Amino acid sequence: DAGVIQSPRHEVTEMGQEVTLRCKPISGHNSLFWYRQTMMRGLELLIYFNNNVPIDDSGMPEDRFSAKMPNASFSTLKIQPSEPRDSAVYFCASSHRRINTEAFFGQGTRLTVV
Amino acid sequence: AQTVTQSQPEMSVQEAETVTLSCTYDTSESNYYLFWYKQPPSRQMILVIRQEAYKQQNATENRFSVNFQKAAKSFSLKISDSQLGDTAMYFCAFRITTSGSRLTFGEGTQLTVNP
C-alpha cells in the first residue's frame, strides 16, 4: 500500500484566496483525521470522520474552514478565505476503525499564506 | 475529555547513551491505547511503539521501551543506545478503545542526540 497520500506537499497562496488540501487514506481504513501543526499550538485535531461521516469538528477554528469526505478514498480540507495565521503544516491520518489502534499519517502539506 | 502532557519541551543526550522522555495523561476511561510517535526533520510522523492499557507488560521495540504506570497515568519512553538518527520530535498520544475514537497528542519533546 502507498500509505496516506496528501497533496500538494507545499502550497503558497495569497491572503484571501481559497485553498484546498487533499487526502487519500489507506485502502480499508475508515477513520480519517485532519490535524494542524504549528510551533505555537503543536498538533491540533481539526476534524475526524468515521465511515465518511464527520464525528467531531470541534477543532475546526472557524467558519472559514470546511472538510468533506465524499467517499472512503478521498477527503478535502478547504480554507476560504485564507489568512496568514492559517500558515501551518496540515496532516491527514487514517486508521482501521475495527482494529482501532494507531493512525497512519501522510507527509503533510506545508501551507504558507502571504 | 482526555489530555496528554509532555513536560519536557527539549532534551539532549550523547550518542550511545540512554534517555527517557516523560508523558502523563488524564482520563476516566479504563480501556485505551497509548502511543509514541517520532517526527524527524522530514516531518513524517512515524509510530515508534504502542501500549494497550489492559496489558501489564511494558511494550518494547528494539532499542525503544516504555514504562507504563497505569495508576499514576504515566507513560514514559526509554531510548537505549541513542543514535544520531533518533534526533526528532517525539509525541505521546492517547486513544480510547471505543471504535472510531479520536487520537489526542501531547505537546511534543524535541530530542537531540549529540555525537
pLDDT tens digits, one per residue of A40-93: 888 999 999 999 999 989 999 889 999 999 999 999 999 999 999 999 999 999
> CA torsion sign, A50 to A55 to A56 to A62?
positive
Distance CA A78, CA A53 (A): 17
- Give me the residues of A, 38-97, that contact B with CB < 8 A: 42-43, 45, 48, 50-51, 55-56, 89, 91, 93, 95, 97
pLDDT for the residue numbered B43: 92
Asked if B99 lies within 8 A of A95 by C-beta distance, the reply is no
Question: Residue A99's pLDDT band (boundaries 50, 70, 90)?
Answer: low
pLDDT at A98 over 70: no
- Give me the residues of B, 33-62, that contact A with CB < 8 A: 33, 35, 42-45, 47, 50
Task: Give yes or no for a contact between B103 and B94, defined as CB atoms under 8 angstroms apart.
Answer: yes
Distance CA B97, CA B52 (A): 9
Residues of chain B with pLDDT below 70 are 99
Distance CA B49, CA B34 (A): 8
| CB < 8 Å to A45, chain B | 102-105
The CA dihedral of B95, B98, A93, B84, to the nearest 10 degrees, is 30
pLDDT at A100 over 60: no
